[in-house]
Structure 1
Amino acid sequence: MTDSVKMDLRSQDLLGERIQQLKKLFPEVFAEGKIDFTRLKQALGENLDTERERYGLSWAGKSEAIKNIQTQSHGTLLPVPEESVNFDTTENLIIEGDNLEVLKLLQKSYHGKVKMIYIDPPYNTGNEFIYPDNFKEGLEDYLRYSGQVDGDGIKLSTNTETEGRFHSKWLNMMYPRLFLARNLLREDGVIFVSIDDNEVKNLRSIMDEIFGEENFVSQFIWNTEGHTDNQFQVKVNHEYIVLYAKNQLIVSLGYIIDPNTRGQSNLWKGYAENSITKNGEANPPSEVLLPSGFPCVAEKIDLDATDVSSEFYKEVSELGYISRQITQKYNISYPIRKKRMIVEEGKLVEDCLVFSGWANVNKLKEFIKNDFKPLDDEDGNLLEFYLSERGVIYYKKSREKARNILSVLRNMGTTEQMRSELERLGILFQYPKPKELLQYLIKIGSAEGEIVLDFFAGSGTTAHAVLDLNAQDNGNRKFILVQLPEPTNKPDYPTIADITKERVLRVISKLNEEDQNKLDFDGKKQDRGFRVFKLTSSNFKIWDGNEASIDPAQLEQQLNMFTDNLVSGRTQLDILYEILLKAGYPLTSKVNKVTAGAQEFYSVDEGLLLICLEKEIQKETLQAMMELEPVQVVCLDVAFQGNDQLKTNTVLEMKSHKIIFHTV
């Protein structure tokens, strides 16, 4: 009875969940709890690919990469308030640790909550960090690498030219991270990945496999506008940014206009308009009757019927459409007026028959049928038609927002400019992405109040872009950064993660200072802070059966060590956030302390979750928690001090109140 309430301290079991989904869909393929592949093949029928040779991407180590996804993490994220800014109120996160382990730990709390992901992973050029040698994508190796536990140092690997730039090594690093990242995206979410020519082909292949070819949106070409005074035969001054949607059918990109769009474009206005006359093979000509009352932009016009030879109509009829050659031959302007066109006070005085090839002709007829009242289109815009002063029919679509996203990205800052700006902030970093580029992508991929994730954070350009963009439009986008504590040669900032935190801190300080200097500053607070968390081992001792002694006396000694399963030196705050993470609550959840007699407990998310971390819990405290009618209650296992009767009674009483009860 009591064992059944223990909380699972591992990260989400992705493989187990998928097997359960398969069991719901195909219960008949399971025999004694295992998948019977013969039955599965029969269930799939014609959808089963039996060909030996098939299209796909395979590489050395792919099966191990998939196993890495399925391996659960026993780690946790320790809060570090002293390195944070506005820890108690901010909803921004900077997480220091290996991004694969961190992504596993975020699966419960942030599943389906992230609107946009941007990453700038290693390009595999042979001269930059890939991952530590012997790094088996596990927590223990990470802890040794980062100096959190004793062990041999782990050398950094650079995947050199002499290794043929092992594509397999790069794919093994990227595949599980992209797979886990997809789970965090909302259904309407998007992911942008920066890359260059070295791995763009392989990146597209694994993203097609993970996200589905049908969810590919675009492969942007970013004109880096960098120096081209090198000795290469072809001076490469571009990179790529690959964009995929979680679900192409429901994704909606931001209403944003490419900044290079000419100033005279209607895209900058609150409407779009154009002539609907359109001649060509796809637009067979027809007559349209414009009834009296049809609107015109001019108060008054009087245009004679168009003088057209009968040979014109004969040639058009034989061809089936109006060609450019026919138009030039007969010197025709469209539409052809078959009657005199007279407008008084901005309206047709009498019916007028016109002839042309058309675009939007059905909408025009609907507009006429609607007594010339504007039509609502599928995007919520208003559509109307009118005559110009020359008798040409125009459509006008009013809109609050316009979208003009181009596949070639130009004039969006350079690495050199960004590096210089960072130097003025006192931050030295060699190859930062320009924040202007990131701001543009964030406008495409996210909106007000949404979460932007970057799990190859580098110097923190994504956070810089989010904070600056929020300052520009008074928005409240939130960021989550994940960065490995990769060593540097800078004494002031021993790791890249230290540079990340310092940069974001200085950006916040600069923005706050600029606000104070504004004459119209109204004191309205934006979220200019971040909570720092660091990846480490669990706050709870994890029993490893492989380490159990076969000697009875030693085994008893080992078991006695687990009587109190808390790791020494950890604080209540450390334990609290591990429970939040493992219970599926965001790391930015609102937490309040509640006093019950002589003891305290934590109320999370307006009382939906109650957590008591007292080492010896009192019955009155348990009663006070039940009276608040939470959904879930969590206590320390050691808090019952071996009183199995109290624990059993608590389980039963919680169940009678329909409260989920766990111990850790």
Structure 2
Amino acid sequence: MVEPVENTFIEGDNLDVLPTIAAGSIDLVYTDPPYNTGNDFAYADSFGHRGGGRAGRHAAWVEMMRPRLVAMRDVLADPGAVFISIDDNEAAYLRLLLDEVFGEANFLAQVVVNLNPKGRQLGKGFATSHEYLLVYARDAQRCVLDASSPDTVDAGDFPLVHADGRAFRHLPLRNTNKKFNPVTSPTLHFPVYGDPLTGRVATSHFGEAVEVWPVFGDGRPAVWRWSRPRIDERPHDLVCREISGRHGARIDVFQRDWLHREGGRRKKLRTIWLAEEVGSTDTAVAELKGLLGHVFESPKPTGLVRRILATMPADAVVLDPFAGSGTTGHAVALANAADGGTRRCISIDVAEPTRPGSNAARAGLATVADITRARLSAVAERFGGGLELR
């Protein structure tokens, strides 16, 4: 049996190519479409929105993107998600357009990505140091995206050490969210029994145990986060302690939350991604230079795409319909090499001419598609996985 290749590159206008991809066959879309900087962009469809100053440029860009977003949605599987990079020029318009195409209910996040820590120093005004990622689900109720990562776990948040050497922290067993209370969650409002001298906790009375009810800091009745059966199953993960409360000393019950737990600890990703976490435009240029030379002005760092890939299963089929320098396919190869995953990537790019006299043109790369193809070829040679060209 022939194994599927890791990277596939298709040259052509994505509006023509996307309908040839089977509906529902893609798990994850990441793409970095052309930004509207006031100059003409490659995908100049005939939608009649030319001229008219800034408003006309916005309209032309939106009408260029609309059918392509519809085509992306059509190839995306119901559990899938789409991530789109964008800057301030079109972020507001793209957000509204994605609401239209994917539905407001399927909005997941607007992430700020710190790709230029120094800030852009050219021109007037502020030194812009960020772009955005807009994240939408195909169907939020069925989406398998996991917006957490082991990389964001800070060992310093777990200052206590058990006798067996494991690091942990104490979390109140009571639910601190006041939406959960004896009225809304009556089955979780019950007494437990604890001994603050030994720390032992149980659901039935024992020895010198005292009865402990869940209460908020102001003394109002609360509920536990765990049910009776779960407390009985995991008594060694609980401890009874005397603490100083708002109204004096009281007995309470805490969970030992272990730094290293079965299945691995993950922490929810924040909506600000720093350059030291995902890379910057400078590191992205260096990555590409290491493969092909300095042939693309503003590539995305593979670290950014690898963080996105980590939110989805390791066998995801990935699509980048505006492949540019080929960062997505490169990131897929790196991710598979790191974790043994079987991700596959389809990259699409149009034969937009490179700028005369540019580094790419001088290197014999006549179009952006030539850059994509050359990078993915270099990736296949260095990391394996193969490359299919269509």
Asked if TM exceeds 0.5, the reply is: yes
Query: What's 2:162 paired with?
Result: none
* AA of the residue aligned to 2:299: P
* Conserved? CA contact 2:78–2:138, under 8 Å: yes
The 5 Å alignment of 1:85-96 reads: 89-90=4-5, 92-96=7-11
* AA of the residue aligned to 2:103: G
Query: What's 1:372 paired with?
Result: 232
- Once the two structures are TM-superposed, the CA of residue 220 in structure 1 deviates from its matched residue by 0.5
Query: Superposition RMSD on alpha carbons, in Å?
Result: 3.6
Question: Could you say what secondary structure the match of 1:469 adopts?
Answer: helix
Query: What's 1:531 paired with?
Result: 388
Question: Could you say what secondary structure the match of 1:191 adopts?
Answer: strand
CA–CA distance in structure 2, aligned partners of residues 484 and 116 of structure 1: 21
- Once the two structures are TM-superposed, the CA of residue 392 in structure 1 deviates from its matched residue by 3.5
CA–CA distance in structure 1, aligned partners of residues 154 and 148 of structure 2: 14
- Once the two structures are TM-superposed, the CA of residue 484 in structure 1 deviates from its matched residue by 0.2
- Once the two structures are TM-superposed, the CA of residue 353 in structure 1 deviates from its matched residue by 2.1
CA pair 191-349 structure 1, distance change in 2 beyond 3 A: same
Equivalent residue in structure 2 for 1:497, among 360, 366, 369: 369
The 5 Å alignment of 1:154-169 reads: 166-169=57-60
- Once the two structures are TM-superposed, the CA of residue 278 in structure 1 deviates from its matched residue by 6.7
- Once the two structures are TM-superposed, the CA of residue 88 in structure 1 deviates from its matched residue by 8.2
- After superposition, the C-alpha distances for 1:455-482 in whole angstroms (9 at most, x for unaligned) are 0000100001100111111111000000
Question: Structure 1 stretches of 5 or more lacking a match?
Answer: 1-86, 138-158, 302-341, 376-382, 513-527, 534-664
Query: What's 2:18 paired with?
Result: 103
Higher RCO (C-alpha 8 Å, min separation 6) = 2
- After superposition, the C-alpha distances for 1:19-70 in whole angstroms (9 at most, x for unaligned) are xxxxxxxxxxxxxxxxxxxxxxxxxxxxxxxxxxxxxxxxxxxxxxxxxxxx
* Conserved? CA contact 2:6–2:343, under 8 Å: no
The 5 Å alignment of 1:23-102 reads: 89-90=4-5, 92-102=7-17
CA pair 438-259 structure 1, distance change in 2 beyond 3 A: same
CA pair 161-507 structure 1, distance change in 2 beyond 3 A: farther
Query: What's 2:253 paired with?
Result: 393
CA pair 479-348 structure 1, distance change in 2 beyond 3 A: same
* AA of the residue aligned to 1:183: D
Query: What's 1:171 paired with?
Result: 62
* Conserved? CA contact 1:270–1:400, under 8 Å: no
- After superposition, the C-alpha distances for 1:124-153 in whole angstroms (9 at most, x for unaligned) are 111362424xx549xxxxxxxxxxxxxxxx
- Once the two structures are TM-superposed, the CA of residue 239 in structure 1 deviates from its matched residue by 0.8
- Once the two structures are TM-superposed, the CA of residue 178 in structure 1 deviates from its matched residue by 0.3
* Conserved? CA contact 2:318–2:343, under 8 Å: yes
Q: Which has the greater radius of gyration?
A: 1
Instruction: Give the TM-score of the pair, scaled to structure 1.
Output: 0.47
* Conserved? CA contact 1:449–1:478, under 8 Å: yes
* AA of the residue aligned to 1:454: D
Query: What's 1:623 paired with?
Result: none
Query: What's 2:269 paired with?
Result: 405
Query: What's 1:121 paired with?
Result: 33
* Conserved? CA contact 1:277–1:356, under 8 Å: yes
* Conserved? CA contact 1:130–1:170, under 8 Å: no
Q: Does 1:192 align with 2:59?
A: no
CA–CA distance in structure 2, aligned partners of residues 254 and 287 of structure 1: 31
Query: What's 1:432 paired with?
Result: 299
Query: What's 2:146 paired with?
Result: 254
* Conserved? CA contact 1:220–1:409, under 8 Å: yes
* Conserved? CA contact 2:35–2:87, under 8 Å: yes
CA–CA distance in structure 2, aligned partners of residues 287 and 131 of structure 1: 60
Query: What's 2:215 paired with?
Result: 357
Question: Could you say what secondary structure the match of 1:475 adopts?
Answer: coil
- After superposition, the C-alpha distances for 1:378-419 in whole angstroms (9 at most, x for unaligned) are xxxxx9643248754113565524241111111311111111
- After superposition, the C-alpha distances for 1:618-659 in whole angstroms (9 at most, x for unaligned) are xxxxxxxxxxxxxxxxxxxxxxxxxxxxxxxxxxxxxxxxxx
Question: Structure 2 stretches of 5 or more lacking a match?
Answer: 159-165, 183-187, 244-250
Instruction: Give the TM-score of the pair, scaled to structure 2.
Output: 0.78
* AA of the residue aligned to 2:69: L
Question: Could you say what secondary structure the match of 1:487 adopts?
Answer: coil
Residues paired across the two proteins, number: 349
Q: Does 1:443 align with 2:355?
A: no
Q: Could you say which structure has the higher helix fraction?
A: 1
